[in-house]
Amino acid sequence: MISNDTIVALSTPPGIGAIGVIRLSGIDAIRITNDVFSGKDLLQQESHTIHFGTIKDGKQVIDEVLVSLFVAPKSYTKENVVEISCHGSNYIIQQIISLLIKKGATAAKPGEFTLRAFLNGSLDLSQAEAVADLISSDSAAAHQVAMNQLRGGFSNELNVLRDQLIHFASMIELELDFAEEDVEFANRDQLQALIVKINGVINKLIRSFELGNVIKTGINTVIAGRPNAGKSTLLNALLNDDRAIVSEIAGTTRDTIEEVLNIGGINFRLIDTAGIREATDAIEAIGVEKTMQKINQSALLVYLFDVVNLSVSEIKEDIASLQRPGVTMLAIANKIDLSSNESLEELDLPSDIIFMAI
């Protein structure tokens, strides 16, 4: 149910900044703003115009501002919308919002502007979700997915198929009305082709969910292997930072260490883990258990092994125990400069495992 209240909230992030933007939406948004604005009569101004003036509480000037007007239905929410750009002082922002509430506005709930845009038909559900995704996007890939969805990428395709289905449904209903006439209005071959096409689109959307979720949240990339394989060294090298403690003592890493690395516009959540072996104490046992949990949750598993100190049978045993259905596995041979090529040739890894040496 759409509320008739005029809502107000800070649109820019909270905290001190150069500019703060306060947004109002509702039938009385322009009137309420006009009551506290000293400058032009906002009620007489055109939509999509900006006006300079001051916000006053009685005779007291709170701030000099720019007021942007968006007259319904030509606005984000399809209601009257006002955006007040003021100086980014927390005190000024709170004073203006309190004054607007005193004049009749109501504090907006989280997401209420987008909710009104959805309820008023400005956005469909897919586009409304894309607004939140766009705001929280922290990589080029996540930004591109959100922009495509916001522009109606999914909606447009589904609407075309929906219109075609409605057309065929109407043709079939027409046939039922003239059942005794033995006439055919709906082409059965075209209907069957449309159903096959719709199934294909639906399956494509189902498959795209996993990819979209990975792009939004980042690819869980677990670095696993035996103690002293060089996992923490690899993490530090990828991050170009001494994020993990490195030493020659086996079992130095007891807990998981997580960092985000952006590669080609996609976030990889790198997770350094405790070395996999028979634990020597209770704390290390917990670390190994957490390692296995992270491996089960991974989308990309980087198995790092010491090619000098491990035999071919031990490497194959590790790979067999670490492989998971649907998880891409990358096997990296460390200390290759100290090893012979013959040992690598004996590995004969499965074709679905990506292999490299460092």
Whether the Cβ atoms of residue 117 and residue 75 lie closer than 8 Å to each other: no
DSSP state string for 337-356 = GGS-HHHHHTT---TTEEEE
The answer to whether 7-122 and 219-357 have equal CATH topology is no
Give start and end residues of each alpha helix (H) in the chain: 29-36, 90-102, 112-119, 125-136, 140-150, 153-177, 188-217, 231-239, 282-296, 312-322, 341-345
* Mean pLDDT computed over every residue of the chain: 82
Report pLDDT for 342: 62
Q: What is the CATH number assigned to the segment(s) 131-217?
A: 1.20.120.430
DSSP 229: S
Q: What is the pLDDT of residues 297-329, one digit of tens each?
A: 888 899 998 888 888 888 888 888 888 887 888
CATH topology of domain 7-122: Gyrase A; domain 2 (3.30.1360)
Instruction: Read off the tokens for 308.
Output: 């000098």
Domain residue spans in the chain?
7-122, 131-217, 219-357
Q: Residue 307's closest CA among 271, 278, 354, 347?
A: 347
pLDDT in tens, 159-197: 787 888 888 888 888 777 776 776 676 677 877 888 888
Strand partners, 262: 267
Span 219-357: which CATH code? 3.40.50.300
pLDDT of residue 37 exceeding 70, the answer is yes
pLDDT band of residue 113 (cuts 50, 70, 90) is very high
pLDDT tens per residue, range 42-79: 999 999 999 999 999 999 999 999 999 999 999 999 99
Cα 18 from Cα 182, distance rounded (Å): 74
**Helices 140-150 and 125-136: crossing angle, nearest 10°?**
160
Mean predicted confidence (pLDDT) in 291-301: 86
Instruction: Report the candidate in 293, 284, 354 with the shortest Cα–Cα distance to residue 319.
Output: 354
